[in-house]
Structure 1
Amino acid sequence: MLKTGIYVDAENIRLCGGYGMRYDVLVELASAGNSVVLRANSYLAEDRERTRDEPDYRQKLYRYHDVLRQCGFKVIKKYVKHFVDDEGIITTKANADMDLAIDALLQARNLDRVILLTGDGDFIRLVLALQNMGCRVEVIGFNHVSSELKEAADSFLSGFLVPGLLPMHSSNGEMRQRGFPINYNPERGFGFLRYYSLTPSKGLVPESVFFHCSKAPEVNDNLFLDSSNIFEFKVVKNPDNSNRTEAWDIRSLDD
């Protein structure tokens, strides 16, 4: 049994494209296959002045904390501090990096795998230290992820590619996927998109689907040459091509 710990740098995730992330899906991902989640920590900021003075903020924040606890996470709060400089400009700070790092190092003695959700390059030393303790370190991030952090980790996965981790909004309620391009032929305008399904027994299962650039009229053709670009699309059976499975209505995630 693979003993797993999850550590979420919640403020970084929130500010870098992961707002609205579903913690229950994260637990499902971490628990898939021969794995059991022993630790699940989320490190969040709380503005005590707003908590005291704004009932709506307090209610919304505490409801969010309750949802995390119901998903099995321990909520570790870092209280926002306000600073005034010589010119009277107010700045705020609430950094839980040290708390996360210390907890992960102490708890890693009982873990085989650490899933770290952040894009902050300040955690590179933590990743290396955990690896030296014998832990496999998997990083999940969204936007603005440090390239050095990706290289230091045993694996990196874009959170956009985990099915259900972030909600996808569709005007007609259709099922859509997120994936990245592979084996694109620019001269003929076709290639394949790789996406994932999430199963309890195997975790993330990679799948590939054919696409033609004509199904992405608003996408720059050159974007399909870079596998780091992520697209949303629907998977359909093309009746004009022997019901072949294809990706249609392809849109860049940055649109």
Structure 2
Amino acid sequence: MLKTGIYVDAENIRLSGGYGMRYDVLVELANSGNSVLLRANSYLAEDRSRTKEDDEYRQKLYRYHNIIRQCGFKVIKKYVKHFVDDEGILTTKANADMDLAIDALLQARNLDRIILLTGDGDFIRLVLALQNMGCRVEVIGFNNVSSELKETADSYLSGFLVPGLLPMPPDGAGRLRGMPVNYNADRGFGFLRYYKLSGGGLRAETVFFHCSKSTVANDAVFLDAANIFEFSIVQNPENNNRTEATDITLLEA
């Protein structure tokens, strides 16, 4: 069994499209296939001055922390610091990068696989160090992910593609998210790659699509595999009940 650790750069994830991310799905992902979750840390910011003065903020924040703990994560808080620069402008800072890096390096001695949730290129050196210790490092991010971080990791996966990791809108029941592959611009068709998560792990699936079944005005977006699309799957009676994607929309960043 692969001993797995999850490290979540929560503030980066929250500000980069991962707001509302479900930690229980991360646990399911880490425990699927030939893997068992051994360590799970989430690094979050807290404004102590606000928690003292704002009861509603404090209750919501601590309730959120408790939900994360109930999923099996250790919550590591980084307290927000306020600074006034030379021009008199107030700035805030709550960077937990150093805490995450040190914890991961110390704990990696007992791990085989590390799932790092961030898009921050500052973690490139950490990824290399973990790999040199013999760990496989998999990065999951949402928007604004460093291209060099993607290339350095053993694998990169958009968090938008992990089933259930982000809540779908109320009208999104049965909808899937995928990325385009092998799009033939001349003929207007290609395939969408999406994923299914089960006890056996994360499994990639593909489904045929035609650009006429989408709402996009310019089909050039299907040539970029970084674009994420939402769609439904139906059987087309006009094509021998072939399984196809329909009602395809571009997921805006």
Residue aligned with 1:100, SS:
helix
Residues 72-115 of structure 1 deviation map (CA, whole Å, 9 limit, x = unaligned): 00000000000112332110000000000000000000000010
CA distance in 2, matches of 1:79, 1:228: 34
Amino acid at match of 2:159: G
Cα RMSD after superposing both structures: 1.1
> What is residue 47 of structure 1 aligned with on the other side?
47
Residue aligned with 1:98, SS:
helix
CA distance in 2, matches of 1:158, 1:218: 21
- Note if 1:254 corresponds to 2:237: no
Give the superposition deviation at 1:217: 3.0
CA distance in 1, matches of 2:217, 2:230: 11
CA distance in 1, matches of 2:237, 2:62: 50
Within 5 Å, give how 1:2-17 maps onto structure 2.
Answer: 2-17=2-17
Residues 132-156 of structure 1 deviation map (CA, whole Å, 9 limit, x = unaligned): 1010000000000001101111000
- Note if 1:122 corresponds to 2:141: no
> What is residue 214 of structure 1 aligned with on the other side?
212
- Note if 1:235 corresponds to 2:218: no
CA distance in 1, matches of 2:219, 2:35: 40
> What is residue 110 of structure 1 aligned with on the other side?
110
Amino acid at match of 1:52: K
CA distance in 2, matches of 1:31, 1:62: 26
Give the superposition deviation at 1:169: 1.0
CA distance in 2, matches of 1:11, 1:40: 16
- Name segments (4+ residues, structure 1) moved above 6 Å: none
Give the superposition deviation at 1:244: 1.2
Amino acid at match of 1:109: R
Query: Unaligned 5+ residue runs, structure 1?
Result: none
Residues 140-182 of structure 1 deviation map (CA, whole Å, 9 limit, x = unaligned): 00000001101111000100000000112143x5310000111
> What is residue 60 of structure 2 aligned with on the other side?
60
> What is residue 30 of structure 2 aligned with on the other side?
30
Work out the number of aligned pairs and report it: 253
TM-score by length of 2: 0.98
Residue aligned with 2:16, SS:
helix
> What is residue 180 of structure 2 aligned with on the other side?
181
Residue aligned with 1:27, SS:
helix
Residue aligned with 1:18, SS:
coil
After superposing the two structures, state which structure 1 stretch, 75-84 or 234-243, moved more: 234-243
Residue aligned with 1:194, SS:
strand
Kept in 2: contact 1:219–1:252 (CA 8 A)? no
Give the superposition deviation at 1:237: 1.2
CA distance in 2, matches of 1:246, 1:227: 19
Give the superposition deviation at 1:229: 1.1
CA distance in 2, matches of 1:133, 1:227: 31
Residue aligned with 1:229, SS:
coil
Percent identical among aligned pairs is 79
Residue aligned with 1:151, SS:
helix
Select the residue among 232, 243, 246 that pairs with 1:245. 243
CA distance in 2, matches of 1:22, 1:12: 15
> What is residue 150 of structure 1 aligned with on the other side?
150
Residues 27-50 of structure 1 deviation map (CA, whole Å, 9 limit, x = unaligned): 101110111111000000000011
CA distance in 1, matches of 2:248, 2:118: 28
Amino acid at match of 1:22: R
Query: Unaligned 5+ residue runs, structure 2?
Result: none
- Note if 1:200 corresponds to 2:227: no
